[in-house]
Amino acid sequence: MPRKPNYDRDELIERARDLFWKRGWAGTSLKDLEAVLEMKPGSFYAAFGSKEALFKLAMEKYATDGRERLKALAQEHGPIKALQRFPKMVVENDTAPAKACMLSKTLLELHAHKHPLAHEANLHLLKMEAHFAELFQQAQSAGDIDVSHDPKVLARRYQSDLLGLRVSAEREGVDAKAIAAEIANGLIRL
Amino acid sequence: MPRKPNYDRDELIERARDLFWKRGWAGTSLKDLEAVLEMKPGSFYAAFGSKEALFKLAMEKYATDGRERLKALAQEHGPIKALQRFPKMVVENDTAPAKACMLSKTLLELHAHKHPLAHEANLHLLKMEAHFAELFQQAQSAGDIDVSHDPKVLARRYQSDLLGLRVSAEREGVDAKAIAAEIANGLIRL
DNA sequence: TGTATACTTGAGTGATCACTCAAGAAAGCC
DNA sequence: GGCTTTCTTGAGTGATCACTCAAGTATACA
């Protein structure tokens, strides 16, 4: 009896993610979304409910994709190599809508307003940090990093450096690849 | 013959800076500014011309204040100690409107729109980086840092770490002071 | 093919956006 | 006190914001 929608929901969320990632929350208007998703307002609200609900979906996709890329890297090269390659990978991805992390952008834009999406971004960052800690611990088990270090401390610092790297990569005239290499090299001396 | 304005322009710019710093460009409405500056729209536009013009002034004040704080630190403690203390100082300043750097917030928010203010933020960041490089060079002359390092490379990395630190400080549940201490310690081993 | 059921359309909602401007108030000089 | 000049006031500008909804359209099952 029903009629099926003539779009791929997941693909729409990806397109929305790219737009939100690039332009931020306030910088993305519904008109922009309508253009990119090729949807009229009625369909949009029937499909997603609100701009905020779609942003949340987009951010979830962003976060899980990031974790999966890290996981894939670890499976292929092992924990320490994954941690070393990740910064470079992030910075060299020229197809990405922005160099900076969508989670940090969201956090910085909306934290002062105590917007629920800022809290959401925070949670995703925590999850990623936990993932980093896990890899650091595995690297210790493999003998690649001295066990005197607390993996959680290493992960906290690593993520901080990564966030800094990605802000720097958004700047003009800054050699982000060089910084990424420095971060990678810093892991050898642990 | 004329009538003098009944406000202190510099103080108004400071108040605007605090609001912009905290809430960002799009997050700060003219209504917000009118409330904080205690000005009606007519006076506001007579005094500053536009929201963008005031933001630019606010960002300039932010940038020069930052450079002066660093300079004061260097004069009191010397270059290497200044570089070590600066991250801690930034993170521990509880009176600041936000932990994150106003320049990076502006850059991340407006870079995708190619907004002139993003370019402006970029220039201020470059100036600050040059200041860092100068201190690194002075620290080398003083024998505190090995001369094998390029001060410009050190400054680039230092600023990246600092930006990451300040994003991390904006998060909840992250011990930013610990990261600041790690950054400071990292400078000893150079 | 008829009908029920969803999806699509797009003009329209009130609210808020940055900004304007004419009129009134206050200060400095004679 | 009168006059000039600037500052202050605040209602009002069109544009854009996120969002709604009634009407039209297409699809799947009978």
A182 in contact with chain B, both atoms CB, cutoff 8 A = yes
Distance (Å, whole) CA B117 – CA B41: 22
Residues A53-71 pLDDT 10s = 999 999 999 999 999 999 9
Chain A positions in Cβ-Cβ contact with residue B178 (cut-off 8 Å): 153, 156
What pLDDT score was predicted for residue A182?
98
For residue B183, pLDDT beyond 70: yes
The percentage of chain A sitting over the pLDDT mark of 90, rounded to a whole number, equals 94
Distance (Å, whole) CA A89 – CA A169: 12
What pLDDT score was predicted for residue B101?
98
Q: Do the chains contact at B107 and A170, CB–CB below 8 Å? A: yes
Chain B positions in Cβ-Cβ contact with residue A165 (cut-off 8 Å): 160, 164
What pLDDT score was predicted for residue A139?
97
For residue A34, pLDDT beyond 70: yes
Distance (Å, whole) CA A11 – CA B144: 54
A189 strand D contact, CB < 7 Å = no
What residues contact B43, with CB distance under 8 A and at least 6 apart? B5
Reported as a pLDDT band with limits 50, 70 and 90, residue B185 is very high
What pLDDT score was predicted for residue B190?
82
Residues A107-158 pLDDT 10s = 999 999 999 999 999 999 999 999 999 999 999 999 999 999 999 999 999 9
Estimate in Å the CA B57 to C1' D6 gap, whole number. Answer: 23
A2 strand C contact, CB < 7 Å = yes
Interface of B with A in 93-112 (CB under 8 A): 97-98, 100, 104-105, 107-112
Distance (Å, whole) CA A58 – CA A14: 7
Estimate in Å the CA A25 to C1' C5 gap, whole number. Answer: 35
What pLDDT score was predicted for residue B7?
81
For residue B1, pLDDT beyond 60: no
For residue B81, pLDDT beyond 60: yes
Distance (Å, whole) CA A133 – CA A138: 9
For residue A100, pLDDT beyond 60: yes
List the single residue in B with minimal CA-CA distance to A171: B122
Sorted by where each begins, the domain ranges of chain A are: 55-188
Three-state secondary-structure class, residue A26: coil
Residues B102-157 pLDDT 10s = 999 999 999 999 999 999 999 999 999 999 999 999 999 999 999 999 999 999 99
For residue A1, pLDDT beyond 60: no
What is the largest distance, in Å, between two alpha-carbon atoms of chain A?
65
What pLDDT score was predicted for residue B58?
98
Q: Residue A159 is which amino acid?
A: Q
Q: Residue A162 is which amino acid?
A: L
Average pLDDT of chain A, as a whole number: 96
Reported as a pLDDT band with limits 50, 70 and 90, residue B6 is confident
Q: Do the chains contact at A160 and B153, CB–CB below 8 Å? A: no
For residue A6, pLDDT beyond 80: no
Q: Which of B125, B163, B178 lies closest to A164 in CB terms?
A: B163
Residues B47-60 pLDDT 10s = 999 999 999 999 99
Average pLDDT of chain B, as a whole number: 96
Tokens of B71: 């300079």
B15 in contact with chain A, both atoms CB, cutoff 8 A = no
Distance (Å, whole) CA A137 – CA A144: 10
Q: Which of B22, B97, B167 lies closest to A167 in CB terms?
A: B167
- B51-188: CATH topology is Tetracycline Repressor; domain 2 (1.10.357)
Estimate in Å the CA B78 to C1' D17 gap, whole number. Answer: 52
Give nucleotides in strand C with any atom < 7 A to a protein C-beta.
3-12, 16-23, 25-29
A113 in contact with chain B, both atoms CB, cutoff 8 A = yes
Chain B positions in Cβ-Cβ contact with residue A97 (cut-off 8 Å): 112
Query: Which DSSP string do the residues of chain B spell out, in sequence order?
Result: -----SS-HHHHHHHHHHHHHHH-STT--HHHHHHHHT--HHHHHHHHSSHHHHHHHHHHHHHHHHHHHHHHHHHHH-HHHHHHHHHHHHHH-TTSS-SS-HHHHHHHHHGGGT-HHHHHHHHHHHHHHHHHHHHHHHHHHTTSS-TTS-HHHHHHHHHHHHHHHHHHHHSSS--HHHHHHHHHHHHHT-
Q: How many CB pairs under 8 A join A and B?
A: 117
- In angstroms, the separation between the Cα of residue B130 and the nearest Cα of chain A is 12
| Residue B83 · residue B136 · CB < 8 Å | yes
Q: Which of A108, A161, A162 lies closest to B108 in CB terms?
A: A108
Tokens of A125: 């960052």
Distance (Å, whole) CA A161 – CA A109: 20
Reported as a pLDDT band with limits 50, 70 and 90, residue B4 is confident
Among chain A residues 50-109, those with CB within 7 Å of any atom of strand C: none
Estimate in Å the CA A46 to C1' D30 gap, whole number. Answer: 28
Going from the C-alpha of A127 to that of each of A15, A140, B24, B29, B188, the distances in angstroms are 23, 20, 26, 34, 32
Cβ neighbourhood burial of B8 (10 Å; 0-12, 13-18, 19+)? exposed
For residue A2, pLDDT beyond 70: no
Which numeric CATH code is attached to A55-188?
1.10.357
- State the residue for tokens 């008109």: A31
For residue B95, pLDDT beyond 80: yes
Query: Which DSSP string do the residues of A31-92 spell out, in sequence order?
Result: HHHHHHHT--HHHHHHHHSSHHHHHHHHHHHHHHHHHHHHHHHHHHH-HHHHHHHHHHHHHH
Instruction: Identify the sign of the CA torsion A36, A38, A43, A47.
Output: negative
